[in-house]
Amino acid sequence: MVFDLAFIWAGLIAFAVLTYVVLDGFDLGIGILFPFGKSERDRDLMMNSVAPVWDGNETWLVLGGGGLFAVFPLAYAIVMPALYMPITLMLLALVFRGVSFEYRWRTERKGLWDVTFFGGSFVAAFCQGVALGALVQGIEIDGRAYAGGWFDWLTPFSVLTGLAVVVGYALLGATWLVLKTEGDLRMAMRGHAWWLGAATLVVIGIVSILTPFQDPIYFERWFNLPGSLWSMIVPVLMVFLAWSFFTGLNDQSDLRPFLSALGFFVVSFIGIGISFFPMMVPPSLTIWQAAAPDSSLAFALVGAVILIPIIVAYTAYAYWVFRGKMDPSEGYHS
């Protein structure tokens, strides 16, 4: 392992992707849960709870994609054609979902944009999960290009990871609403959080058991020292988070279920990182092979080092002052 520019950038890209999942996961989850909003008022509240933050959150997706292009152009050039269908579908779904925030308030046919909001969120989440699954499976490379067909991504495993992300994001959405709302809506979402939490843990469990069999390297990493130490720690952390999640729900805590659910994602992400490293695109492209020349990495790093902390600080501040329950009468579209 070398602590060089490529390594730093791999860390930054991983950070951007994790930040994206943590931030946009719950607001996509709100969309996935839209059919569970019983009344129009409930749905208004649900949407308004993320209206101020959704597009700042999605900017991290642009940073993930743009960052990959900038510093790992070869990985970008291989992964995008390999995941052509899920990526294209995700983008189209995000278009529908994004404009629903605005359009919904500009027409009497609100129902139409309710459906697009739900459908867009669901499909975007599913495609992200599929993309992840396809990446874990490994991508066939010939020379400097993707060598597979345009349906290689579609396997039972990738469908499973797609559903896992949908369920997980819905859980994040439900716990976010437990945190942000009061009364009936909160009670309903707390009810959904129970089964969504259980379902998320089950699918994470299944995916975790299947992952080591996707590639012998993963198997070795998890079941031989020193990697097997991790395979002890990660499940233990998960059990702790699960305990924290369910007791949090039981204790009527506002914040604990949401943070624990985020923890599920962070720990899973670390687990994926352990499987992947030092590969950028499993099974054969390493971080160093995929990296752009140092002159590109250094130039981009200057901007990243200055701006990412500012962005993180600003985002944290925004969430801090935005904390607490929503006031239904102060709807952002009222």
Partner 1 sequence: MLDGFSAEMLARIQFALTVSFHIIFPAFSIGLASYLAVLNGLWMRTRDETYLTLFNYWKKIFAVAFGMGVVSGIVMSYQFGTNWSVFSDRAGPVVGPLMAYEVLSAFFLEAGFLGIMLFGRERVGEKLHMFATAMVAFGTLMSATWILSVNSWMQTPAGFSINDVGQFVPEDWWQIVFNPSFPHRLAHMVLAAFLTTALVVGAVGAVHLLRDKTDKEARRMFSMAMWMAVIVTPIQIFAGHEHGLNTFEHQPVKIMAMEGHYESHTEGWAPLYLFGVPHDAEQQLDYALGIPGLGNLIFEKPLDTPVMGLDTIPDDEQPPVGIVFWSFRIMVGLGFAMLGLGVWSAWARWRGSLYDAPWLHRASILMGPTGFVAVLAGWITTEVGRQPYTVYGFLRTSDSLAPVDAPAVAASLLAFIIVYFAVFGAGTVYILRMMNKPPATPKLGLRDGPIRTAGITPAPQVDPDLIPGE
Q: How far is it, in rounded angstroms, from Cα 120 to Cα 104? A: 14
Helices 73-82 and 54-71, axial angle in degrees (round to 10): 110
236 alpha carbon, distance to own chain's centre: 22
Q: How far is it, in rounded angstroms, from Cα 201 to Cα 306? A: 38
The burial class, CB within 10 Å (0-12 / 13-18 / 19+), for 134 is buried
Q: How far is the CB of 241 from partner 1 (least distance, A)?
A: 25
What number of chain residues touch partner 1 (CB under 8 A)?
Answer: 81
Based on the shown chain and the rule CB under 8 A, indicate whether residue 312 belongs to the binding site for partner 1: no
Contact with partner 1 (CB under 8 A) among 25, 31, 67, 162: 67
Q: How far is the CB of 58 from partner 1 (least distance, A)?
A: 7
Q: How far is the CB of 321 from partner 1 (least distance, A)?
A: 4
Nearest to 241 by CA among 209, 217, 268, 218: 268
**Taking CA 178 as the corner, what is the angle to CA 272 and CA 15, rounded to the nearest 5 degrees?**
25
Stretch 133-172 residues interacting with partner 1 (CB under 8 A) = 144-147, 149-150
Instruction: Give 24 or 167: the residue with its C-beta nearer to partner 1.
Output: 24
Tell me which stretch binds partner 1 (CB under 8 A): 157-165, 225-233, 280-288, 293-301.
293-301
Q: How far is the CB of 233 from partner 1 (least distance, A)?
A: 34
Residues sharing a CB contact under 8 Å with residue 89, sequence separation 6 or more, in sequence order: 123, 127
Contact with partner 1 (CB under 8 A) among 11, 278, 303, 309: 303
Contact with partner 1 (CB under 8 A) among 5, 51, 132, 280: 51
Tell me which stretch binds partner 1 (CB under 8 A): 54-62, 197-205, 231-239, 260-268.
54-62
Tell me which stretch binds partner 1 (CB under 8 A): 44-52, 161-169, 215-223, 271-279.
44-52
Q: What is the three-class DSSP state of 55?
A: helix
Q: How far is the CB of 292 from partner 1 (least distance, A)?
A: 4
Site map (CB under 8 A) of partner 1, residues 243-262, x = contact: --------------------
Stretch 169-208 residues interacting with partner 1 (CB under 8 A) = 182
Based on the shown chain and the rule CB under 8 A, indicate whether residue 299 belongs to the binding site for partner 1: yes
Based on the shown chain and the rule CB under 8 A, indicate whether residue 122 belongs to the binding site for partner 1: no
Stretch 69-108 residues interacting with partner 1 (CB under 8 A) = 69-71, 73-74, 76-81, 84-85, 87-89, 91-92, 94-96, 98-99, 101-103, 105-108
Q: What is the three-class DSSP state of 168?
A: helix
Q: How far is it, in rounded angstroms, from Cα 83 to Cα 158? A: 11
Instruction: Give 35 or 293: the residue with its C-beta nearer to partner 1.
Output: 293
Cβ contact 72:290 at 8 Å: yes
Instruction: Give 22 or 210: the residue with its C-beta nearer to partner 1.
Output: 22
Nearest to 206 by CA among 214, 216, 194: 214
Instruction: Give 147 or 236: the residue with its C-beta nearer to partner 1.
Output: 147
Stretch 4-23 residues interacting with partner 1 (CB under 8 A) = none
Distances (CA, A) of 248 to 45, 194, 260, 262: 23, 11, 9, 13
Distances (CA, A) of 148 to 54, 84, 135, 140, 313: 35, 11, 13, 6, 42
Tell me which stretch binds partner 1 (CB under 8 A): 191-199, 213-221, 270-278, 322-330.
322-330
Q: How far is the CB of 267 from partner 1 (least distance, A)?
A: 26
Q: How far is it, in rounded angstroms, from Cα 94 to Cα 304? A: 25
Instruction: Give 223 or 299: the residue with its C-beta nearer to partner 1.
Output: 299
